[in-house]
Chains A and B, each alone.
Chain A
Amino acid sequence: QKEVEQDPGPLSVPEGAIVSLNCTYSNSAFQYFMWYRQYSRKGPELLMYTYSSGNKEDGRFTAQVDKSSKYISLFIRDSQPSDSATYLCACSSTGGGNKLTFGTGTQLKVEL
């Protein structure tokens, strides 16, 4: 079993929809949680960086961490075609600047 599990999708939604992307993890030592967005033929781009449980909001994006259930989520409000990409969750026990464990990524397509 992988330490970080993520549904690969693909997930297709209409423009303007609320998107929910999720990961589960098994390592209780994870305390730092990240979401990266990856466009085709590009490197992962950091979207959200959170520590421990709780919510963090940045524009149309909200990251949510529930350590009790080992569940992390990324919500995208008012989704746009430009949000079409692969979204990767990542976890770390000692901070994002240290070793990361990635999910396999969820492919999202936002259609007009």
Chain B
Amino acid sequence: DADVTQTPRNRITKTGKRIMLECSQTKGHDRMYWYRQDPGLGLRLIYYSFDVKDINKGEISDGYSVSRQAQAKFSLSLESAIPNQTALYFCATSSLGQPQHFGDGTRLSIL
């Protein structure tokens, strides 16, 4: 089983819909991250959380929100999806001072 699991793996939806992407981990890490990946732009940080009570905005947080339901669970929401939010979304986890480990991503298409 994967250490960092993202659901769904693929999602197609329409403009204006609310969408939630979920991430769970079995690595016991306290830190979790959400990124989006776009061709030519690389990975960009959306939000990150260093523990259950800590949520921080990343480089591109507008239009997104997150919830850290437990140490092992971190979800990303798009309240009202728009086409330019079409991208690959990755969750990552780490512990203090250690490198990040990624899930296999969610491919999100917004029509």
Does A10 belong to the interface (CB within 8 Å)? no
Residues B48 and A99 in contact, CB atoms below 8 Å apart: yes
The residue of chain A having its C-beta at the shortest distance from the C-beta of B4 within the complex is A43
Interface residues on B, range: 20 to 34
| Docked CA distance A36–B67 (Å) | 27
Residues B104 and A41 in contact, CB atoms below 8 Å apart: yes
Does A93 belong to the interface (CB within 8 Å)? no
Interfacial chain A residues near B58, Cβ < 8 Å:
99
Known contacts A43-B105, A97-B94, A99-B48; A49 and B41 CB within 8 A of each other: no
Does A30 belong to the interface (CB within 8 Å)? no
| Residues of A participating in the B interface, judged by any CB pair closer than 8 Å | 6, 8, 34, 36, 41-46, 49, 88, 95-97, 99-100, 102-105
- 10 interchain residue pairs of minimum CB distance: A96-B99, A43-B102, A97-B94, A104-B42, A95-B97, A102-B43, A102-B42, A43-B104, A49-B99, A44-B102
